[in-house]
Structure formats: C-alpha cells, structure tokens
Structure 1
Amino acid sequence: MVTLEPQPSPQDYIAAMALADSEAESRLGEVMLISWYDRDRDYESPQHSSECHMDSAVPGYVDYGLNHGATLKIDIEQGRFIFFYLALDL
C-alpha cells in the first residue's frame, strides 16, 4: 500500500486519479486501474459493489480490486481517494 498526502490537496477525483496513475506507473510500469473510491462524492467503481457487502467489514470496491488481481493500493489523504491497480505484464 502507498499512502500519499499531496500538497496542495487534489481538487477532485480527476486530479487524484492523475496523481495515483503516475505513482502506480512509476512503481509497476504499465498498469490497469481495477477499482476505486471517491469519498468526496461517496462514489465507487465498480458501481454498487458495496451493496453486496452491507454487513461486511470489507467495502465492495476493496473486495473487487483484490479478487481481480490488484497488486497495488494507493490511498490519498487517509481514504479520501483510494485506487487499486494491476500491473500489466506485456
């Protein structure tokens, strides 16, 4: 897991994703974004993945990312934005 506290703070999800993409690529090379969470908008991808996890301690986007091969988690600002990445072996 990589934890980032950028200064200045990302304005929105798009800025946070660009930062996370850059960090993931610097660590793993070519990557695929598997799942993510945007606390500002309370939005996740895949959409509604947490609905199946209502009584679970693990949010749906976490479970999805880990069970679809993610090898890197990037957490920006203590859970404000969370991204799961898979390294592409080409």
Structure 2
Amino acid sequence: MMMMMMMMIVVMMMMHDDDDDDDDDDDDDDDDDDDDDDDDCCMIMMMMTSTTTTTMIMVIMITMIMTARRRRRRRMRAMLKVAVILVVSADT
C-alpha cells in the first residue's frame, strides 16, 4: 500500500505543469515542446509492475487529462495508451 502511494506521488510530480505563465486561451498547437517527455513514458512503464498499481495510475492520469490544459493533454493521452497496453498485457 505504501509503495502504491509513493508511485502515485511520483506520477503526480511528473505530470505537474510548472509553466504557469502560459495563458489558457492560446490555441496554437506547437509540437516543439520539451523532447524529454519520452523519458517520462519509460519511467511510468518501469513503475507499472502490478495490475492494481497500473489501474490506480490510470485513474490518476484520466483525472489529470480531464483537468489539464489543451497542450498537455496530447502527452498525457500517449502515456495513458501505454498504461492501457500494460494492463491488457498483464491480464493475459
């Protein structure tokens, strides 16, 4: 239980948006954001070892996608797809 809570905290810290100076109303979809977001996906993949932990992380990520800004949603959806694939592969 303690391990799951620590993993949730790590995921929340990784997903935290630090650039508060952006306005919510800018509609440009720039793809030249940070390139180091691929490392986050690898880190999440390494953390997901059990189905329960993966499911809990997916719930957190879905909540964050719903509350995130438009530019960050694309990255979070990609991470969620990785989580879904891992849950399916863990169940089979």
Which is higher, the Rg of structure 1 or of structure 2? 2
TM-score (norm 1): 0.30
Larger RCO (alpha carbons 8 Å, 6+ apart): 1
TM-score (norm 2): 0.29
User: Which is richer in helix?
Assistant: 2
